[in-house]
Amino acid sequence: PAARARLRECEGDSCRRVYLDTSRGRRRRWCSSEVCGNRERVARHRRRAALARS
């Protein structure tokens, strides 16, 4: 039951994985920082860069 409270769904746009959040502050957002997290950060950067150009 305690582990159920730490189950999270990945916030990646195209990812539907469920993972166990074992982070210290229980604030993890992605199943994998290297894959899903990086995709989200790159997309955010591209949006900011496109706004800056226009």
Provide the 8-state DSSP code for 21: -
- Would the pTM of this model clear 0.75, i.e. be above it? no
pLDDT tens-place string over residues 2-54: 899 999 999 998 899 999 999 999 999 999 999 999 999 999 999 999 999 98
In this predicted structure, what is the pLDDT of residue 39?
Answer: 94
Read off the pLDDT band of 1 (50, 70, 90).
Answer: confident
CA trace torsion 26, 39, 17, 19 (10° rounding)? -20
For the chain, how big is the Rg over CA atoms in Å?
Answer: 14
Phi and psi at residue 16, in whole multiples of 5°?
-120, 25
The domain spans of the chain are 4-53
| Residue for token pair 């995709």 | 39
